[in-house]
Structure 1
């Protein structure tokens, strides 16, 4: 099984400058291919082109043979595979759009897009201090790279920046011992009040209700108000459409840049806390060694349309939690089952099987005509645990 890991880096100042150049080159190459593909399609509509799309090979050849030798000589300062892979990523994003898998790819923004670039897997070598990459030299890491067997290579290595630290993400082949499973079917009902309720009676609390997260959210609101006041102080006047006119470009205002960095750091802390908690909960669930885990099919996009619950749903990171459960089940040989979206797990009585159609969201205790009473989420998790038995 191929697993992916992230390793924290400690680059020198010269290497960090090269990292930023490589990330900028990858972003430029991605945007350049999207722009060329749109121009090619517009020429096709005019009748000047025979094909609708342009191949990524043509774009790469033009960049290497023309631009790199004339107006874009700075492309030679970074590894050649940085540009090559960025063009391939843009082409893949476009193909996924054509196939209906994802939306139309957007141009990457310097301030909002993820800062990352590709490292050539063939030249990536493990060293005592860290690793050696193409034009990067020996980069030190806080933990050693995993050892590989003869003939193996790290797959899809990329270096990324999370706003504070640089990381190397790699994939490698690893064999796991199959667990001796208990033969139990475990149902998991996720929600907002509790992150997850398991059919064995285990409740995973909502991390967003803890003092630490609430303190950080309060601090985030406070720092955002500070930023708003700084922006207001720099407003000179308003135009006819009541849009603010600033005395000078915002990028030159050092106080605003510092405040934006503070806000990014608070966002990073919140994300790290929530992601780490999801890993802890998913590990605890998988280590109970059930034969299969059943989760409901979540329509997160539809749930986010509720303006009263959208913020709470986004903070729970339910899609990420399901992904973690799914790949950890595959790791240990546990069968993962996704129940049908329209399966009435919450409205069905786990005792007699009768469906209570008038159940409302505010009803936290499920009461049935047969006299059965149970916590609403626990009842739903038991129904999910019996999902395959009911469909057999």
Structure 2
């Protein structure tokens, strides 16, 4: 049986004692400060002198900052998270210059993710217990699932979310068994049904946000009535954050179970390329589209298919999957969103979503058989297109219309 070695992160919740919580809070603050100072220095060097500052230069700056009286407190925390955040900044600039990301932005005390990364020199892993640098006792981790047998973490990331929960992520080497299967499936994403498979199966949309919408509204109204800067406002903010965290956790759990099932059952999976960033500009559907989390679903599918040796194909975003008859290939002129079933001139009665899923599967298999890439180039999206899905005129050339 074929296997594949991968780097895999295992995330657990833990409960720090007061001393550990204080140490981690100081570390988070120092990490944020060093990142912002290094970003300001690199930006100023380029603006004033057209000079590019690399990681080595910012590392030397950090050494100098620690020797000053104003920043001597940087010596009180582990140096490894501070060096790691400079490496992250270097990666952010590398992605920016390669035009894969926007220019790096400063970390906010209230909005940015609070985290710190430790490498092997800054933690001790012994007998299943993890002790971080500058700490005397190991972390009280809730082991919700075991680590792979006989492995030790190479990197540890500690974080705290807006709801006040502490998490530790352990990056380990893992081996994934690649069991081949013969299944193929096309997937159409939607709102009435979260996913519709080419087999005819429809997966119900759980609508996680809608289930907690009333509770969230009450908590947000209570937060708005509290005086800014008061302890009561901090408590109310925490209640809002916990509701958001519950929604996010349920959504992530559902998508993980769904994508794992699809990857285990199918060797080839075909999906469509959805521009969620543009689609959420439709104000009447933005909340529902965001709750469906199509982008997260695709991200999970991408790395899980890679791990298990599956093939993930992505059809062009302008392919008219809903308007094309999967039986005779005729193209309907119009297909409003309120039309859920329609009859082709060949006499076939189509369920809109099932028909779209079958067309997506056929398009992916056809383009793969012809030796053409079905993953669209990001630059193909033309400005001025409406946010609802429609066909590209080039994609419908030669297809008869109804």
Q: TM-score range by the shorter chain?
A: 0.7 to 0.9
1:84 to 2:80 alignment: no
Is the partner of 2:319 in helix, strand or coil? Answer: coil
Q: 1:172 — aligned with what?
A: 172
2:340 alignment partner in structure 1: 364
Count of matched residue pairs: 360
CA distance in 2, matches of 1:192, 1:127: 48
Aligned-partner SS, 2:329: coil
Query: Are 1:22 and 2:21 matched, yes or no?
Result: no
**Correspondence 1:327 to 2:306:** no
The TM-score with structure 1 as length reference comes to: 0.86
The 2-side partners of 1:352 and 1:202 are apart by 22
The alignment status of 1:202 with 2:198, answered yes or no, reads no
Query: Within 5 Å, which residues of 2 pair with 1:41-120?
Result: 41-44=46-49, 51-120=50-119
Q: Distance in 1 between matches of 2:65 and 2:168?
A: 32
The alignment's C-alpha RMSD in Å is 2.0
1:28-57 Cα offsets, whole Å, 9 max, x none, are: 11111111112112221xxxxxx4222222
Instruction: Report the CA distance shift for 1:389/1:142 in structure 2 as closer, same or farther (over 3 A).
Output: closer
Mapping for residues 254-293 of structure 1, pairs under 5 Å: 254-288=231-265, 290-293=266-269
In the aligned structure 1, how far is the partner of 2:31 from the partner of 2:38?
Answer: 11
Residues 136-173 of structure 1 deviation map (CA, whole Å, 9 limit, x = unaligned)? 34222111762565xx7634421111223211112222
- The separation in 1 between residues aligned to 2:17 and 2:248, in whole angstroms, is 27
Alignment check: 8 A CA contact 2:10 2:147 kept: no
Structure 2 vs 1, CA of residues 222 and 55 (structure 1 numbering), >3 Å: closer, same or farther? same
2:344 equivalent to 1:348: no
> How has the CA–CA distance of structure 1 residues 227 and 140 changed in structure 2, closer, same or farther, with 3 Å as cutoff?
closer
Does structure 1 conserve the Cα–Cα contact (< 8 Å) formed by 2:66 and 2:73? no
Shift of 1:331: 2.2
SS in 2 for 1:207: coil
Distance in 2, Cα, partners of 1:283 & 1:38:
43
1:38 to 40, 43, 61: 43
Deviation digits for residues 273-317 of structure 1 (CA, Å, limit 9, x no counterpart): 1111111221222232x2200010111111011111111111111
Q: Supply the distance in 2 between the matched residues of 1:342 and 1:214 (Cα, whole angstroms).
A: 30
Cα gap change, 1:200 to 1:63, in 2 (>3 Å): same
Cα deviation, residue 100, structure 1: 1.2
- Indicate the residue corresponding to 2:141 in structure 1: 141
Instruction: Note the 1:171-320 alignment, pairs <5 A.
Output: 171-181=171-181, 183-208=182-207, 213-231=209-227, 250-251=228-229, 253-288=230-265, 290-320=266-296
Q: TM-score, normalised by structure 2?
A: 0.84
Residue of structure 2 equivalent to 1:238: none
d(CA) in 2 for partners of 1:221, 1:327: 35
- Distance in 1, matches of 2:22 and 2:65, equals 26
| Structure 1 residue 219, shift from structure 2 partner | 0.7
Which segments of 5 or more consecutive residues in structure 2 lack a partner in the other structure? 1-5, 371-402
